[in-house]
Amino acid sequence: MSESLDLTLKVWRQASHDAQGAFRTYQLSGISIDMSFLEMLDVLNEHLINRGEEPVAFDHDCREGICGTCGVVINGQPHGPDTKTTTCQLHMRRFKNGDTIVIEPWRASSFPVVKDLVVDRSAFDRIMQAGGYVSVNTGNAPDANAVLVPGRDQEKAMDAAACIGCGACVAACKNASAMLFVSAKVSQLAILPQGKPERAERVLKMVARMDEENFGSCTNTYECEAACPAAISVTNIARLNREYFKAMLVSDPV
């Protein structure tokens, strides 16, 4: 039989964006160490529903570490104690019997709380809409060798494209900066030939939109990289700064 845990959960409860939030304490027993963190929350909600109480609202979708929707702060760490791991991939074996686990939403003014552990991350969508696209024609896929891309560039672009947009970088940053996210999205296109036509326009528009969304400034503490489940490197932030500086030099004055 699998080992089981008795846990104390301190969960942030907030009925709506405008409501006053507070931590509520719940006791759970018999939690299998083989459960994922979200499965543990499912068990909590089953107990709450059976008692006629409102279940805890939390985001989830694929539960395979792909979609980026499941993020919560667990004991002060976005996505919990494991590195390169989303909340849905975190297993209860990482905790000990009798532990107290504090669970709260991302804390950033640009990610307003919708309810309980759910936050509105549509600011990321608006940044992508500002410039995260290419103007290549659609249709049949070109031959694989029609556009030659050096292997090293391809690897860098794919590493940047691994960003799942979960927002852990923002939650981990003391300034709630979105620089790691934006730099990954700029890098994945700027490195490849298909992204060259909008290269300057893209970075200017995406950075401007990031600022409009009131994300904080980057002060290079590298907490964003440490919290990122996709291991996006802060070297992308350096690339973003270079891209932005070059775009400012060649852009038309207003």
Amino acid 24: pLDDT: 98
pLDDT score for 200: 94
pLDDT for the residue 66: 94
The predicted pLDDT at position 134 comes to 83
Q: How far apart are CA 215 and CA 238, in angstroms?
A: 18
- What is the pTM for the complete model shown? 0.92
H-type alpha helices, the chain: 37-50, 122-131, 151-161, 168-172, 179-190, 199-212, 223-227, 235-250
For the domain made up of 122-250, give the CATH fold: Fumarate Reductase Iron-sulfur Protein; Chain B, domain 2 (1.10.1060)
Residue 31: both structure tokens together: 């939690």
DSSP notation for 170-190: HHHSTT-B-HHHHHHHHHHHH
- In the prediction, which pLDDT does 140 show? 78
Query: Hey, what amino acid is at 242?
Result: R
4-114 and 122-250, same CATH topology? no
Domain residue spans of the chain: 4-114, 122-250
Residue-level pLDDT, tens digit, the chain, 254 residues:
458 999 999 999 999 999 999 999 999 999 999 999 999 999 999 999 999 999 999 999 999 999 999 999 999 999 999 999 999 999 999 999 999 999 999 999 999 999 999 999 999 999 999 998 887 776 777 776 777 888 999 999 999 999 999 999 999 999 999 999 999 999 999 999 889 889 999 999 999 999 999 999 999 999 999 999 999 999 999 999 999 999 999 876 54
The residue among 138, 132, 136, 125 whose CA lies nearest residue 165 is 125
**How is residue 142 annotated by DSSP?**
P
pLDDT of residue 141: 72
Q: Is the distance from CB of 101 to CB of 56 less than 8 angstroms? A: no
pLDDT value, residue 1: 44
- pLDDT at residue 146 in the model: 77
Superfamily of domain 4-114: Beta-grasp domain (3.10.20.30)
